Structure 1
Amino acid sequence: MVLLPLGVLVLLTTLLGIMYLDYVADPEKNLHDFPIALVNRDLGDVADSETQQRVNFGDQISEGLRQRVPADKIDLRMLGINEAEQQMRLGQLYGAIIIPSDFSKRLSILGMGSVIPGDIQQPIITVQTNPRTGAYATQIALRISNEALTAVNKQVGEQLTERVNAQLTQQPGGPPAPELSGASRIVLAQPIQVITEEYYPLPSGSGQGLTAFFYALLLLLAGVVGAMVIHTMIDAQLGFVPTEYGPWYVHYPPTPISRFTTLLIKWGVFVVAANVIAGVFLLVGKLLDMPIDNPLALFLYSVLAMTAVGVTGLSTLAAIGSAGLLVNLILFIILGLPSSGGTVPIEATPRYFGWLAEFEPMHQVYLGVRSILYFDSSFQAGLSRGVWMALLGLAVGLVLGTVFTRFYDRKGLERSNILQD
């Protein structure tokens, strides 16, 4: 009475503590394969009008970024602007560093403008974030980009200052070379202006990219809790378990019905419930002014995801009884939430979370919901994987429940009290 529940509870909470604390303890230490694009559109500029020698500062900065960005943590992808934008639209990039086509030209003009009067424009590098991949992913992309660009900016500033000083001293037979003013030295020391902007900003009511995670969490909880409620209440109505209402105790006579038929009834009730719950969630979202551009797709996917989770949960309970509650809790909740990637990106968690994300239902549901809410229901943005994995989970649940209950029925293993027998 004491040791068994105590042991189960200790093991369960230990697993819970490891999964959830390891998930958030040090995301930057666990950073790996974090995708950021580097787009170099710089066309270069003529460094010497006599020799027509060209210089391309964009290539130098790209090389500097490749050296400074840790390859074991960041997946720095050298992409063209069109490919980078496509991957941003599909949620395959967390950010992009864009060097414009006139970067070298502006940098050269800045160097000349430090000693020659005239209007100049500071060269710009743009850091684009992808807010639809989540607020935490955006912060990581910004920090990595800013750290790398700060170091590169300092290096370019030193080179530009040396170049301007060399040009000033190369005036033989002429008047004394002018000296750089203090203001010019400050500008040349940090010549690059880094601009941060959001690519495809989220509309208001999106919770800074968290509504997809919490909507997916609602679907998962509805599936798990719904399976538990339907399993318990139908068993009570069929007389297999007692029901207590405060001081009142009810235990109906057992109904002569097979295990497989009982499971079919539970599956049917859950399918009906999934359609109703999906409509309720959609209505609540609309009442809260949550932007939902494709309500039909969200409704249909919600029904599919909840049905897959609920059917599998009911089959687990039918196969192993009350112990199925613990299995469902571990499978769908304890292992599912940290590996979902909805708050902290998978690339900022320990690598075994990435392995869990390959099959854990929460991650698949999150990808499907995120695609519908943030990426125009694009199949390439995760909806395809979300749908197929839900169908696979549903098939597994149907096969699991059918095989076990039919086996029990054929063996004559009726639902009865083994102590009384």
Structure 2
Amino acid sequence: MWLAPIAVLTVFMALLGTMYLAYVVDPEKNLHDFPMALVNQDVGDTVNGQQVDFGDQITEALRHGIPADKVDLQVLGINEAQLKMQSGAVYGTILIPSDFSKRLGILGVGSVLPGDIQRPTLMLQTNPRSGPFATQIVTTIGTKALTQVNEQVGKQLTDQVRTQLTPPGGGSAPELTGATRVALADPVQILIQPFRPLPSGTGQGLTAFFYALLLLLAGLVGSMIIHTMIDAALGFVPTEYGPWYVHFPATPISRFNTLLIKWGVMVITANIVAGVFLGVAHLLDMPLDHPLGLFIYSAFAIIAVGITGLSILAAVGSAGLLINLILFIILGLPSSGGTVPIEATPEYLAWLAKFEPMHQVFVGVRSILYFDADYQAGLSRGVWMAVLGLAIGLVLGTFITRYYDYKRLQRWDPSRA
């Protein structure tokens, strides 16, 4: 009586602790296939009669300097990079402007001649709509890589200036002033700018995750409540509130028809709850550019999760509570990508994200809230995976309950009907 619940709870909590701690303990160590773009717009320049292209040199330095086993650095054109940023396909972009070589050449000459000059710039664009943690990782990776590039360019530029100052007949070049050495050692200005900043009321990119979590909980908890309360009303389980206890006579109804009733209640409840969530978001001044699309997708996601959860409960009974918690919560939250991006979690979580419901709901909600309901930004995946989940739930529930009914494994005693 006491050993079984202790053993089940221990195993359950061990799985919970492993999954939740593993994905947050060391994201940098777990980094893999983290998508970033590199755009080189530098057109080059002529310095001392020679054509130079520092943009190409920096591109090669970044490709070799950024670890390929951790970061998927994609060399793209500006238009393609912006399209991928708009759809969340990349988390950040390193941009080398068209006048980079020209400004760098002017800096080399201007450091020893009077006149006003402007430092060349390298831009690091973050994508805040991909989430705050993804932005932090982009900033860390980009700043580290560009700082190393800046040091290399500074050494190269210093050597170039000293070579230019060396007398034609030989001899030593004049000593550079301290200010000149400082300017040449740190020649590039690194600018960090957000691409399409999020408006206020988005929780710095976390509202999509919590909204998706609400939808998942509505389907999961809803399926448990509907399953229990309808079974109680039909007399299959007792009802107890405080000291009040009642156990109605079992209703002579098939398992399949019972499940149909639960499914119907779930569909009605999903639409009501989706409207409630939308109303709460509106009252809290949460930006809602596509309220109708969010309502429809929310109701559909709740229905898919709820019907699948009810089918599992119909198939395995009370054990379905644990199965649903493991499927939708324990495995779902760490693999959702809502807080820590999938590319910064252990690879087995990335594998789970391919089919775990929480990730599919999250990318669908994020697309509606942050990416103008763009199908390429995850809405297409969110919709079709919800369709697949709903189909699995319907087929599973129909097959298993009809099979139980065929085998006359009814939940009521015919002799007492």
TM-score by length of 2: 0.98
The SS at the match of 1:29 is helix
User: 2:181 — aligned with what?
Assistant: 185
Letter in 2 for 1:326: L
User: 1:3 — aligned with what?
Assistant: 3
Paired residues of 1:131 and 1:198 also in contact (CA < 8 A): yes
Partner of residue 214 from structure 2, selected from 218, 229, 232: 218
Is 1:299 matched with 2:295? yes
Is 1:128 matched with 2:125? yes
Is 1:46 matched with 2:43? no
Q: CA RMSD in A?
A: 1.3
Structure 1 CA distance, aligned partners of 2:288 and 2:63?
Answer: 39
**Unaligned regions of 5+ residues in structure 1, if any?**
none
User: 1:163 — aligned with what?
Assistant: 160
User: 1:331 — aligned with what?
Assistant: 327
Structure 2 CA distance, aligned partners of 1:348 and 1:95?
Answer: 14
Is 1:388 matched with 2:410? no
Letter in 1 for 2:285: D
The SS at the match of 1:46 is strand
User: 2:411 — aligned with what?
Assistant: 415
Letter in 1 for 2:108: G
Letter in 2 for 1:359: F
Letter in 2 for 1:288: L
Superimposed CA distance per residue, residues 218-275 of structure 1 (whole angstroms, 9 cap, x where no aligned partner): 0000000000000000000000000101011011111111110000000000100000
User: 1:245 — aligned with what?
Assistant: 241
Is 1:368 matched with 2:364? yes
The SS at the match of 2:204 is helix
Structure 2 CA distance, aligned partners of 1:2 and 1:376?
Answer: 53
Paired residues of 1:33 and 1:74 also in contact (CA < 8 A): yes
Within a 5 Å distance, the mapping from 1:22-421 to structure 2 comes to: 22-49=22-49, 53-172=50-169, 178-416=174-412
CA shift, 1:416, in A, is: 4.3
Is 1:17 matched with 2:13? no
CA shift, 1:364, in A, is: 0.1
The SS at the match of 1:401 is helix
CA shift, 1:410, in A, is: 1.0
Paired residues of 2:162 and 2:173 also in contact (CA < 8 A): no
Structure 2 CA distance, aligned partners of 1:414 and 1:173?
Answer: 103
Superimposed CA distance per residue, residues 13-69 of structure 1 (whole angstroms, 9 cap, x where no aligned partner): 0100100000101110000000111111101110223xxx20011111111111110
The SS at the match of 2:30 is coil
From the superposition, tell whether residues 232 and 173 of structure 1 become closer, same or farther in structure 2 (CA, over 3 Å).
closer
Superimposed CA distance per residue, residues 191-234 of structure 1 (whole angstroms, 9 cap, x where no aligned partner): 00000000010000000100000000000000000000000000
Structure 2 CA distance, aligned partners of 1:89 and 1:386?
Answer: 17
The SS at the match of 1:35 is strand
Structure 2 CA distance, aligned partners of 1:170 and 1:32?
Answer: 51
CA shift, 1:178, in A, is: 4.6
Paired residues of 1:36 and 1:77 also in contact (CA < 8 A): yes
Superimposed CA distance per residue, residues 294-330 of structure 1 (whole angstroms, 9 cap, x where no aligned partner): 0000000001100000000000000110100000000
CA shift, 1:170, in A, is: 3.6
Structure 1 CA distance, aligned partners of 2:4 and 2:44?
Answer: 73
Identity of aligned residues (%): 69
CA shift, 1:173, in A, is: 9.6
The SS at the match of 2:143 is helix
Structure 2 CA distance, aligned partners of 1:195 and 1:245?
Answer: 62
Structure 2 CA distance, aligned partners of 1:185 and 1:297?
Answer: 58
Letter in 1 for 2:35: P
Paired residues of 2:252 and 2:412 also in contact (CA < 8 A): no
Paired residues of 2:235 and 2:248 also in contact (CA < 8 A): yes
Paired residues of 2:240 and 2:246 also in contact (CA < 8 A): yes
Paired residues of 1:115 and 1:178 also in contact (CA < 8 A): no
Paired residues of 1:136 and 1:345 also in contact (CA < 8 A): yes
Letter in 1 for 2:261: I
CA shift, 1:156, in A, is: 0.5
The SS at the match of 1:244 is strand
Q: How many residues align?
A: 414
Superimposed CA distance per residue, residues 92-145 of structure 1 (whole angstroms, 9 cap, x where no aligned partner): 111000000000000000000011111100000000000000000000001001
Letter in 1 for 2:195: Y
Structure 2 CA distance, aligned partners of 1:44 and 1:309?
Answer: 56
Superimposed CA distance per residue, residues 343-381 of structure 1 (whole angstroms, 9 cap, x where no aligned partner): 000000000001100000000000000000000000000
